Structure 1
Amino acid sequence: MNPLLLLFMFLLTANCEAAWRSTHVQITNNLDPNTTDLTIHCKSADDDLGVHVLHHQEFYRWDFKINLFGGTQFWCSFQWLNQFHWLDVFIEETFNCRDCKWIISNDGPSLYNKITKVYDHKKWNDEKKRT
């Protein structure tokens, strides 16, 4: 059998398997209890998930399937008091999670690491240097 055809079939099978499994993103308001609510607005290139207001320790969660052809990405804006930030919460090529759990604290976002069992602090997208 043609090696290129075998490679194509392998890649198609791997992408189909990924597309069948659901991926989950969960965002929890871990701001100081005396802080006002956290307002989030999440989107992808294809979906606008709308605006959600989270009280202290409440979370918003959604499930989705990976795009068969790749490139699945979700980002959110976060607003409270005089703060406004945005963050990529899922990028298929970058994030190695099928159950991505974020907490949003006064000092920034953190993503749960299933290997170390702790939340790793991340930078807001608006804090990252552009190259």
Structure 2
Amino acid sequence: MGNLKNVALPLLLAFSLLYLPFAEGDWFINYHIHVTNDLSLLNSSAGKPNLFLYCKSKNKDLGDRAMVKGQDYTWDTKINFLWTTLFFCNARWEGHKNITFDAFKAKRDEQRCLQYHHSCMWSVREDGIYFNKNNATWYNSYRW
């Protein structure tokens, strides 16, 4: 019986340390991804879509969206057990440019998006795709 306690305690401790990162419910946190069309109305008319965004992951196809200036494309996701959750988008600026970018990558975005209400904010602009983690400073993360 004494040997069982000697084995059980280290196993319990090891499991606790392994589980510690999830103690606050990281697996259950919803991350909110926002992609906003901030392109100018150059060569397009007001009210007519000038950005086409197609987003998906390995397991979930979010479909294609035609977006007018100022429109926001939003979805939620959770991080999977292996931290391999990845959503990527193809952005096509009608008549101009096309780019594919990672809109949510678990290992990259877990902490940086957690800081601002679990949100990852993206802005599609004339010179690229900008990221914002605190609703104050934007970074051009993907150039056209």
| TM-score interval, smaller chain | 0.7 to 0.9
2:15 is matched with 8
Larger Cα Rg: Structure 1 or Structure 2? Answer: 2
User: 1:117: how far off?
Assistant: 1.9
1:120 is matched with 139
Percentage of pairs with the same residue: 27
CA 1:70–1:5 in structure 2 vs 1: closer, same or farther (change >3 Å)? farther
Higher normalized strand content (fraction of residues): 1
129, 136, 144: which one aligns with 1:109: 129
Give me the whole-angstrom Cα distance separating, in 2, the residues matched to 1:120 and 1:7. Answer: 40
On the 8 A contact 1:15/1:68 being kept in 2, the answer is no
Higher normalized helix content (fraction of residues): 2
Q: Does 1:61 align with 2:74?
A: yes
User: 1:38: how far off?
Assistant: 0.4
CA 1:68–1:35 in structure 2 vs 1: closer, same or farther (change >3 Å)? farther
- Counterpart of 2:26, as a letter, is A
Moved more, 18-27 or 63-72: 63-72
TM-score by length of 1: 0.83
1:88 is matched with 102
RMSD over aligned Cα atoms: 2.0
Moved more, 57-66 or 9-18: 9-18
Question: What are the ranges of 5 or more consecutive residues in structure 1 without an aligned counterpart?
Answer: none
Question: What are the ranges of 5 or more consecutive residues in structure 2 without an aligned counterpart?
Answer: 1-8, 45-49
24, 27, 36: which one aligns with 1:28: 36
Give me the whole-angstrom Cα distance separating, in 1, the residues matched to 2:43 and 2:33. Answer: 23
